[in-house]
Amino acid sequence: MAQPGDPASTAPGPLVLNGQSFDSDQRLIMAIINRTPDSFYDAGATFADDAALDAAREAVAAGANILDIGGVKAGPGVVVSVREEIERTAEFIATLRAEHPRTVISVDTWRAEVGDAACRAGATLINDAWGGVEPELVEVAAQYGVGIVCTHAGGQHPRTRPHRIAYPDVMADVLTRTLALATRAEQVGVPRSAIIIDPGHDFGLNTRQSLEVTRRLDEMVDTGWPVLVSLSRKDFVGETLDISVPQDRLTGTLAATSIATWLGARVFRVHDVAQTRHTVDMVDAIRGIRQPSVNRRGLA
């Protein structure tokens, strides 16, 4: 087993979520469904129940394997209590579970109490984007036998932005922290096949650091743990291309997605399901691990 800080290569195994096994060549698309009135990208477009349900249906139809439900904006903003976060997510997750029984339902939270309510409602994955700030959250995952995403956040407090953050070696820090979280998850009883690691683009990272972890993503992949990337329309894309409006960052996002796919990422947390599916499928066809959907040219 890979130990914290040890990037030694380990053969990847299947990822098992919601009773389904996904092999190492399968790319999973995690669709973002924000149950918040102030999200940075859609500004509350899926805060209402009907709009959120429509967005979930459209995502599944476009090829999403996972629906990631979040009740709190990632960045600074109005304080959201535990009770309010549960009200925004748990009942909606129950509705999704009934309507989409084979789809993996994820809850995006750092709070153990919210994770417990979400799992009781039918969530089969916990997306802990803040790096284990509530250690009890991984115990919730173990209790319910669900998966967990172990994210590098550089020790940042939830909903804060990094300020002049520096690392002697940023990928070494990413590996040390995420592998420690993954190891603890396995030790407390989370199935190894349901543990995912995430470098946490923009979370505890400035733009240059996010770019570096992207080009060094193979070092995470080589640990054998499935790697998730959350690149969609983020600030590191905007700053790299000098695009301040998140709605205009799709091209840059898909470019980063192509690199992450080539280097072996297996889960992609996105706003744009169809475009991401096309991107990862094209990269995998070029790599030779996916056949073209049709093969007519030169055969007629």
For the question of residue 234 being annotated catalytic, the response is yes
Find residue 228's DSSP bridge partners: 267
Q: What is the DSSP letter of 23?
A: -
**Residue 218 pLDDT greater than 60, yes or no:** yes
Mean pLDDT along residues 218-233: 98
Indicate the domain borders of the chain.
18-287
| pLDDT, mean over the chain | 95
The reply to whether CATH 3.40.50.150 applies to domain 18-287 is no
pLDDT value, residue 225: 98
Cα dihedral 106→159→170→257 (10° resolution) = 50
Closest Cα partner for 240 from 260, 217, 212, 278? 212
Confidence of residue 228 (pLDDT cuts 50, 70, 90): very high
- φ, ψ (nearest 5 deg) of residue 10: -135, 140
pLDDT value, residue 188: 98
Residue 139 token pair = 């115990």
2: Cβ contacts below 8 Å, ≥ 6 apart: 8, 10, 179, 182, 183, 223, 224, 225
User: Which residue out of 234, 249, 266, 277 is catalytically annotated?
Assistant: 234
pLDDT, tens digit (0-9, with 9 covering 90-100), for 80-97: 999 999 999 999 999 999
Residue 6 token pair = 């040890």
For the question of residue 192 being annotated catalytic, the response is no
User: Which residue out of 88, 216, 249, 269 is catalytically annotated?
Assistant: 269
Confidence of residue 9 (pLDDT cuts 50, 70, 90): low
pTM: 0.95
Mean pLDDT along residues 197-209: 97
pLDDT, tens digit (0-9, with 9 covering 90-100), for 244-281: 999 999 999 999 999 999 999 999 999 999 999 999 99
Confidence of residue 44 (pLDDT cuts 50, 70, 90): confident
